[in-house]
């Protein structure tokens, strides 16, 4: 990859990688750090990564950095995930987006990741498999389970509105 192609890759992919990591992470500052680290690693490997594969490389690298960060946090302090049971009836939502974000936050990490890559970023099953080191059938199963959970969580539109 040339310097021009690298710069073009930054322009094209920076926002998408940031949105993906932010949706999975929730913390804007650490998300920026992860994206920056992914681009640093791309720069280091630019001679080995063709321009056509830069997007996949960036998402894969950022995803793995995020996983490493979560694991480190778990080891440092007794990290408690956001999957704790909360009473849904205690929160009155007037915005479908808030409901959806809360529902997505309830998903297990791998399901949240594959749904975000598929539905938010538009990746194919094969590309998601490459990013997450899963085969296509596993990706499809995780997406199916996540969508089923989201459908049950949100319920019918009459209840939401």
**Please, what is the Cα angle at 50 between 1 and 124, to 5 degrees?**
140
> Is 136 within 8 Å of 126 (Cβ atoms)?
yes
Which band of pLDDT confidence, cut at 50, 70 and 90, is reported for residue 90?
A: very low
pLDDT of 80 over the 50 cut: no
Comparing 35-49, 64-78, 139-153, which segment has the lowest mean pLDDT?
64-78
pLDDT of 109 over the 50 cut: yes
Higher per-residue pLDDT: 39 or 75:
39
Specify the pLDDT at position 121: 80
Comparing 41-55, 75-89, 92-106, 144-158, which segment has the lowest mean pLDDT?
75-89
Helix/strand/coil (H/E/C) assignment for every residue in the chain: CCHHHHHHHHHHHHHHHHHHHHHHHCCHHHHHHHHHHHHHHHHHCCCCCCHHHHHHHHHHHHHHHHHHHHHHHHHHCCCCCCCCCCCHHHCCCCCHHHHHHHHHHHCCHHHHHHHHHHHHCCCCHHHHHHHHCCCHHHHHHHHHHHHHHHHHHHCCHHHHC
Share of the chain above pLDDT 70, in %: 82
**Helix 125-132 / helix 54-76 crossing angle, nearest 10 deg:** 40
Domains of the chain and CATH, by start: 1-81 (1.10.1740), 92-161 (1.10.10.10)
d(CA 126, CA 150): 23
d(CA 3, CA 6): 5
Higher per-residue pLDDT: 157 or 22:
22
């Amino acid at each position: 990859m040339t310097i021009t192609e690298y710069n073009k890759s930054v322009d094209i992919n920076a926002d998408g990688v940031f949105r993906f990591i932010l949706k999975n992470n929730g913390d804007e500052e650490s998300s920026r750090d992860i994206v920056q680290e992914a681009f640093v690693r791309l720069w280091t490997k630019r001679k080995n990564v063709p321009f056509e594969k830069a997007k996949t490389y960036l998402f894969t690298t950022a995803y793995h950095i995020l996983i490493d960060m979560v694991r480190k946090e778990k080891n440092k302090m007794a990290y408690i995930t956001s999957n704790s049971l909360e009473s849904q009836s205690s929160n009155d939502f007037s915005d479908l987006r808030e409901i959806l974000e809360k529902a997505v936050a309830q998903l297990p990490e791998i399901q949240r990741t594959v749904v975000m890559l598929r539905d938010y970023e538009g990746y194919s099953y094969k590309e998601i498999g490459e990013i997450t080191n899963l085969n296509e059938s596993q990706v499809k199963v995780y997406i199916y389970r996540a969508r089923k959970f989201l459908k049950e969580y949100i319920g019918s539109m009459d209840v939401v509105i």
